[in-house]
Structure 1
Amino acid sequence: MLKNIQEWVLLLGIFGVVALAGNWIGYEILPTSAIPGMLILIGICLVGLILGDVLPGSLPSIAYVALVGVLLSMPWMPGSEYIVSATSEVELLALTTPILAYAGIAIGRSWTDFVKLGWRSIVVAVCVMLGTFLGSALIAEAILTFQGII
């Protein structure tokens, strides 16, 4: 368990540093103002990962991370105003960039496992991605047309 926590802290720390850099470069939010929010987000993730590992059941860690984050940001929770204001200094897209990069590296490392799934899985993945793209494009087209923007 201690080894897992050390790995999680290291990984979350790397994500945090890269996200702070992306936040600074992409949104011109200085790291000094975003560090408290990033530390809070890292803490929430760490608590959720620990709960997912410790508590019995098959609930994934992401559910615990979301639950802890929602509970801490509720208006009746002491300190929620500070948590919300501090984390609002960290932009969502600055967070997703290192996570998606890590996911791409993880898939690239386990390419043999991906190939074992067979050609049907590749067809399904392509259809899902194509459907998601086309669905998003249609929704965006409809909303932008409705608003008179295009």
Structure 2
Amino acid sequence: MAIAMLLSNVAFRPDVRIAQLLGLAVVVAVVVAALAIKKLTRLPAIPGVAVLGILVSTPFSPIGSSLAHLVESLDFLSLTVPVLVFVGLGIGKDMPVLKRIGWRIVPVALVSFAASFGAAAVIAQFTLNF
């Protein structure tokens, strides 16, 4: 996955710099550390990665500013493209289930997306104005 993310970042930003490689190494290190914590604690991996990433990159973290400097050279969209491709491939194998659910999944998905966006907007406004 990291190689796909690196290739995607190179496709979006052809000028490969050492800062991009270091930034990707930081992202991979956070993911590997969160997966190690998952094995030790049996907590879900995705919240673990999110919480660990937030903790090491916040302004009150001693390494937060240096990590932010390393990761700022990465293009966020180029990192998400390979992830979304793998998600699409994973959903594709469940196509018979989706066909059986039919149209009922569409309103549920729209409400879920709207609620997630609304909650994120409220949290962002609160933290930006705090």
TM-score by length of 2: 0.71
* Aligned counterpart, 1:61: 45
Q: Larger RCO: Structure 1 or Structure 2 (Cα < 8 Å, ≥ 6 residues apart)?
A: 2
Q: Alignment partner of 2:59: what SS?
A: coil
Whole-angstrom distance in 2 between the partners of 1:93 and 1:40? 17
Q: Which protein has the larger Cα radius of gyration, Structure 1 or Structure 2?
A: 1
The Cα RMSD (Å) is 2.6
Whole-angstrom distance in 2 between the partners of 1:78 and 1:126? 44
* Aligned counterpart, 2:36: 50
* Aligned counterpart, 2:6: 20
Q: Is there any run of 5+ residues in structure 1 with no aligned partner, and where?
A: 1-14, 137-150
Q: Is there any run of 5+ residues in structure 2 with no aligned partner, and where?
A: 118-130
Query: What amino acid is aligned across from residue 126 of structure 1 in structure 2?
Result: V
* Aligned counterpart, 1:145: none
TM-score by length of 1: 0.63
Query: What amino acid is aligned across from residue 106 of structure 2 in structure 1?
Result: V
Alignment of 1:35-114 (within 5 A): 35-56=21-42, 59-108=43-92, 110-111=93-94, 114=95
Whole-angstrom distance in 2 between the partners of 1:73 and 1:29? 25
* 1:115 and 2:101 matched: no
Alignment of 1:119-138 (within 5 A): 119=100, 121-128=101-108
Whole-angstrom distance in 2 between the partners of 1:54 and 1:122? 39
